[in-house]
Amino acid sequence: MVESKIRVEHLYEDLDREIRNSESSRSALQKSREVVDRALADGRPYYGINTGFGALAGKKIGAGDLSKLQTNLLLSHAVGVGPPLPFEISRLMLKLKLYTLGLGYSGVSLQTFDRLHYFAENDLIPVIPSRGSLGASGDLAPLAHMSLPLIGYGEFWDGGPGASADRRKPVDAVKALKDHGLEPISLQPKDGLALINGTQLMSACGAWVMEKCSHLLAMADLVAAMSLEALQGSIVPFDERIHSLRPHPGQSDVAANVRSLLKESEILDSHRHCGKVQDPYCLRCVPQVHGASRDAIRHTRNVIETELNSVNDNPLVLENGDIVSGGNFHGQPLALAMDYAAIALSEMGSISERRIYLLLEGHDGLPKLLMQETGINSGFMIPQYTAASLVSENKILSHPASVDSIPTSLGQEDHVSMGSISGLKLLQVFEHVETILAIELMTAAQALDFRKPLKPGRGVLAAHDYLRSQIPHLEEDRYMREEIDRGKVLLKEKKLREHAESASGKLK
């Protein structure tokens, strides 16, 4: 049983700690390598060690060609296409591969492990094309590209440790190796297969999103609370008694967050007896919609965390000396979970856009389009277009990739997960939802300005005051793209949330 050492909420700290402590892995690495060496001596066929791969598993390879077999494996599988993966995803892939190899069930040589360790420690991050993985037999093409620099092929992102991702450019691997006083290495039997069999692309995409999701979900509740105040919505649908009768965990957490953020609201008191019976669903059903997405994300986080602490190589080198073939490289658990997460996040964006639209309609004393002089000014009309466009794109991206499969390797690999597609779609959906929520944040803040001198709840007020210290109220049209970009920065940073929590208590 593999011990769980990598947790999503502390992803980067945990990975860095385990990589720094990889010296403690050397005993397990050495033992698994000795198993491989003994297997080579007994003359029997072992998949991928002294045989061909995939449909060629029945072909025995002579002892003199075993190193070339592993080199050819990288070269033949490095057929990825499309734009490169984001730098952070590539770096995460490298660290996840290093961690799982270090668990000692892959039989990788110490020379190869040490070189990968050097890459990670010195921020030598390979350039990896984003397309080409089927999410079964591992993320073969992406991991082959990740491993090419070991043998003097491929590219690194230049820039060195600490350089920002947007300033890095591809540089030839041989040149980068020479700059570090290194030469390409010769792969040993099993090395190439251990490098490319795995779920590190899928895992990196899922882990990257999950690590950021807890903050995004809390911010979605904060932004919704600001819209609720600006629209003079009712607090009644957030009554704890309602949610105790349908006790989904996420639903209860969202309702509690909104109640906390709206404490001591003068706006709520001003319309408490206005006679309005019910708000539109985008306000009234925030706990149910946001909460369902929270529960879906919680499930996905658990799946991703299990995978981060798993061995997904093939064949596996076991402690008793057995070398066994299985299917731990198959990405189905990840594919299903990431499709689910994309749907959940897409719904967060969808209900947010409905609140944006409602804020522009001129309800309860708000000026239409949230600007006094319209005609010459378009106000917040067009940011809603942008949000609507992203919501619609997310609906397309939320079509599950995991229901598709195309047989490969002459039918040997006859069912694949397409989990890499799930992961890449999830990245895009997440970024779209960040933008949609940033637009709602800017729109709700503008609307809330028109409720003065009445004050919103303590948490909303603190968040609004901080936002206004960074971005002023719009009296007339200005370059709105800059406003959205600045709003997105505020949404992603922790300061806005910290100001709200300092006034109303920690958000769930």
Please list the active-site residues.
47
Q: For residues 258 and 285, what is the distance between their CA atoms, to the nearest angstrom?
A: 12
* SS3 label, residue 213: helix
Backbone angles phi, psi at 317, to 5 degrees: -100, 110
The answer to whether 300 and 340 have CB atoms below 8 angstroms apart is: yes
Question: Cα(469)–Cα(359) distance, rounded to whole angstroms?
Answer: 22
Q: Which residues contact 300 (CB under 8 A, 6 or more apart)?
A: 206, 210, 337, 338, 340, 341, 344
What is the rounded distance in angstroms from the CA atom of residue 161 to the CA atom of residue 107? 30
> Which amino acid type is present at position 43?
G
Distance CA 418, CA 421 (A): 6
Q: Let me know: does 87 contact 165? Beta carbons within 8 Å.
A: yes
SS3 labels along 22-81:
HHHHHHHHHHHHHHHHHHHHCCCCCCCCCECCHHHCCCECCHHHHHHHHHHHHHHHCCCE
Could you tell me the two tokens for 3?
């011990």
Torsion of CA 445, 451, 455, 461, to 10 degrees: 0
Q: Compute φ and ψ for 180, nearest 5 degrees.
A: -100, 10
Which CA distances in Å does 8 have to 15, 57, 121, 199? 10, 36, 21, 16
Backbone angles phi, psi at 324, to 5 degrees: -125, 140
Query: Residues 230, 144: contact at Cβ < 8 Å?
Result: no
In DSSP terms, which residues pair with 60 in a beta bridge? 51
Angle, nearest 10°, between helix axes 200-230 and 419-449? 20
Residues 6 or more apart whose CB falls under 8 angstroms from that of 308 comprise 6, 8, 11, 96, 99, 203, 207
DSSP class of 237: G
Q: What is the CA radius of gyration of the chain?
A: 26
Asked if 274 contacts 321 with a C-beta cutoff of 8 angstroms, the reply is: no
